[in-house]
């Protein structure tokens, strides 16, 4: 199977291509230099000439706070860029997998979000990813929408790398303790996505590592497994944290039952994932 993967320089795209190679599939990895997703003509040319069976669309504008000041750019990438790809997938009648986010929900309550729950984004990033979802649903017959959260991978910046750096530099970290969700290791997620794209079990899904935590608990576990017990971690409520431009969801719990119902293997526990990840990086 030949699959085009966007955002190949990012955390997830990098791991998806590696996973495909392991399985003897044919990845066509592209990033901005090979295919600017905001250029409809480039999308049509590259996807058509690549003669692929599917597209896994990982590329996105993910700077959540910066998005509040760069609405047009964020929309051009997350909504219009996704529409450009979706139009080609429709015309070629090929599968499209769109990687989305829990930020399409309003982040209220404590119930895990179901894949088909109503979407009410809190911020510009969430709104533009929601618009991307709508484009895929409107245009593509053979689509997967996979919502993820709290992502970390070897190839790029993430919360774990930030905590390790702050812990080394300052010996202390202040972390919010009232936003709840599940971390997602891109290595584990990539395996699921490659499993999924080879099926015809289309629709919306949620995928994170198993288990729940707050960002504070996530930080404490990172330092514990890294052997940095001397780092002092102070919990604070979101209301007491220096104001960020974008409103964050308090409830990032997302239900993964649909994975089980469709015979997909769920991701390992997030603490196990942190341990494996720390062995893959240097700090």
pLDDT of residue 244: 82
CA angle 52/11/84 to nearest 5° reads 40
Residue 170 has pLDDT above 90, yes or no: yes
- Put residue 263 in one of left, alpha, beta given phi > 0 → left and psi -120 to 50 → alpha: left
Q: What is the CB-side half-sphere exposure of residue 61 using CA atoms within 13 A? A: 30
Q: What is the pLDDT of residues 107-139, one digit of tens each?
A: 999 999 999 999 999 999 999 999 999 999 999
Residues across the chain: 283
pLDDT band, residue 241 (cuts 50/70/90)? confident
Model confidence at 223: pLDDT above 90:
yes
Handedness of CA 193, 196, 197, 201 (dihedral sign): negative
Residue pLDDT, tens place only, 11-66: 999 999 999 999 999 999 999 999 999 999 999 999 999 999 999 999 999 999 99
Pair 203, 145: CB distance under 8 Å? yes
- pLDDT computed for residue 81 by the predictor: 98
Q: Cα dist. 230→22, 220, 226, 234, 242 in Å?
A: 39, 11, 11, 13, 24
Active site residue 125: yes
From 61, 98, 125, 205, the catalytic residue: 125
Mean pLDDT for the chain overall: 97
How high is the pLDDT of residue 71? 98
Q: Which domains does the chain have, with CATH numbers?
A: 2-157+183-209+255-268 (3.40.50.720)
């Amino acid at each position: 199977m030949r699959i085009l993967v966007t955002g190949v320089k990012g955390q997830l795209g990098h791991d998806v291509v590696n996973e495909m190679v392991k399985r003897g599939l044919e990845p066509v990895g592209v990033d901005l230099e090979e295919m600017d997703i905001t250029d409809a003509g480039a999308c049509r040319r590259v996807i058509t000439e690549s003669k692929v069976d599917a597209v896994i669309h990982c590329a996105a504008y993910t700077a959540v706070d910066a998005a509040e000041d760069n609405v047009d750019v964020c929309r051009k990438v997350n909504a219009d860029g996704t529409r450009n790809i979706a139009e080609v997938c429709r015309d070629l009648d090929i599968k499209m997998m769109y990687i989305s986010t829990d930020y399409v929900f309003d982040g209220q309550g404590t119930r895990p979000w179901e894949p088909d729950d109503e979407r009410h984004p809190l911020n510009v990033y969430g709104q533009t990813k929601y618009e991307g979802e709508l484009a895929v649903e409107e245009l593509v017959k053979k689509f997967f929408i996979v919502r993820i959260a709290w992502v970390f991978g070897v190839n790029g910046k993430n919360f774990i790398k930030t905590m390790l750096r702050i812990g080394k530099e300052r010996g202390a970290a202040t972390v919010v303790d009232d936003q709840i969700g599940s971390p997602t290791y891109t290595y584990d997620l990539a395996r699921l996505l490659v499993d999924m794209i080879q099926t015809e079990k289309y629709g919306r899904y949620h995928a994170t590592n198993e288990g729940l935590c707050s960002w504070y608990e996530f930080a404490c576990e990172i330092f514990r497994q890294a052997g940095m017990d001397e780092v002092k971690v102070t919990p604070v409520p979101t209301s007491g944290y220096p104001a960020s431009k974008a409103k964050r969801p308090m409830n990032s719990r997302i239900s993964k039952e649909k994975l089980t119902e469709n015979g997909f293997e769920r991701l390992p526990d997030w603490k196990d994932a942190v341990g494996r990840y720390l062995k893959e990086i240097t700090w």
